[in-house]
Chains A and B, each alone.
Chain A
Amino acid sequence: MQAPNVIGYVYCSDAGDILEQEGNEVTVLASVLVYFQQVAGLIGESFGLEDFQEAQIQSKSLVVLCVPYKGGSFGVILNSRLKINEVITALRTVLATR
Chain B
Amino acid sequence: MDVSKLFENILDLPGIEGVCLFGLEGQFYLNRLPAFLSTEVLADAQRRIAAMYGTMDENFLPCDDYMLRFSERWLLIRRTDQVVLLVLGGEKANLSSTRMVTNMTIKHLTPAVLAEMGDKFNQPLKAAAPFFASTPAPALASAPVLAPASAPAKAAEPAASKPAPAVSVAPAPAPAPVAPLVEAEPPKTVRMYRGRPY
Q: A residues engaging B (CB < 8 A)?
A: 28-29, 31-32, 35-36, 39-40, 42-44, 46-62, 64
Contacts and interface: CB of A to CB of B under 8 A. Distances in A.
A76 to B, nearest CB: 14
B44 interface: yes
Nearest to A58: B65
Contacts of B97: none
Given A39-B55, A43-B49, A32 B60 contact: yes
B161 interface: no
A68 B70 CA distance: 11
13 contacts: A32-B59, A40-B52, A40-B66, A43-B45, A43-B77, A44-B70, A46-B45, A49-B72, A52-B69, A54-B69, A57-B63, A58-B63, A64-B63
A61 B61 CA distance: 10
Contact of A49 (B36, B49, B61, B73): B73
Interface in B12-49: 33, 36-37, 41-42, 44-45, 48-49
Contact of A46 (B44, B55, B66, B73): B44
Given A46-B45, A53-B69, 6 more contacts: A39-B48, A42-B48, A43-B48, A43-B68, A50-B70, A54-B69
Interface in B56-107: 56, 59-73, 75, 77, 88
B169 interface: no
A52 B51 contact: no
A48 to B, nearest CB: 8
A55 B51 CA distance: 16
B70 A46 contact: no
A57 B70 contact: no
B69 A46 contact: no
Nearest to B17: A47
Nearest to B95: A56
Given A29-B60, A46-B45, A47-B88, A35 B67 contact: no
B34 to A, nearest CB: 9
Given A47-B88, A52-B68, A31 B75 contact: no
Given A29-B60, A58-B65, A59-B61, A47 B37 contact: yes
Given A36-B55, A46-B45, A47-B45, A31 B71 contact: no
A52 to B, nearest CB: 6
A39 B51 contact: yes
A55 B55 contact: no
